[in-house]
Amino acid sequence: MEDEDLYRFLLEAASTLRARLTIISDGRTPWDVFRDERFAGNHHADPCSKILKRRLTRRWLTQHCNPAETTIYLGLSWYEKHRIEKNQEAWKPWTTAYPACEKPLLDQCDMLRMVARRGLRPPRLYQLGFEHNNCGGFCVKAGHAALRHLLRTMPERYAFHEKKEQELAQAIGKPVTIFRDNACGQRKPITLRELRERFEIDGEPEPDEEWGGCSCMLATDDDET
């Protein structure tokens, strides 16, 4: 589900750092997980990240690494420090570290400039204006502004997810949606097709539209269930 250019960056970054890159995979996409679990991920629950990232990572660590000699480095930024304590507890017995929360405190622009100084070309989603580089610019926890940007910059990718949502509803046998409509103070289900039709009429995003947050590696209490 990741953008193709991310893998180019990973290989080049690992070579620059002279680090061994290990890629692990369940073999499924988030949409496969939603179908198998008969549950569509949403802003409050992310079975995709739980199964394809956190649970898979923990299983690999258990099989290959000694907790006493292993540190998990996570990309929480300094403005997410409130998440660290719970995250540390959830990843035990592994030790976690958060370099982006250490001085000098860097924002995303600082980090991208650092990457460029290393002679690396950042993943293209940042150049296209995306705020994160997960799941190819699509995320079940994305805000409407992020979805609107995906439709504007990569309409074929938006169309892919719109079709997958329709197929999931057919497979489960009932209407399912990932996102909610917050218009007029209400919160009701809205399909990606309905959102697209609204975006095509509205044009530019509303001032209060959110980009949403990504928390793929923030372990939760039910990750091992």
Is the separation of the CB atoms in 179 and 196 below 8 Å?
no
**Mean pLDDT value across residues 59-69:** 96
Residue 225: C-alpha distances to residues 55, 64, 87, 141, 197 (Å): 9, 21, 17, 22, 39
Q: Determine the pLDDT at residue 206.
A: 64
Of 106 and 213, the one with more pLDDT: 106
Question: 10 Å Cβ neighbour count for 164?
Answer: 20
- pLDDT band for position 159 (cuts 50, 70, 90): very high
What is d(CA 206, CA 200) in angstroms, rounded to the nearest whole number? 13
3 state SS of 97:
strand
Q: Determine the pLDDT at residue 68.
A: 96
Residue 28, Ramachandran bin (φ over 0: left; ψ between -120 and 50: alpha; else beta): beta
Residue 136, Ramachandran bin (φ over 0: left; ψ between -120 and 50: alpha; else beta): left
What is d(CA 170, CA 190) in angstroms, rounded to the nearest whole number? 16
Is the separation of the CB atoms in 100 and 76 below 8 Å?
yes
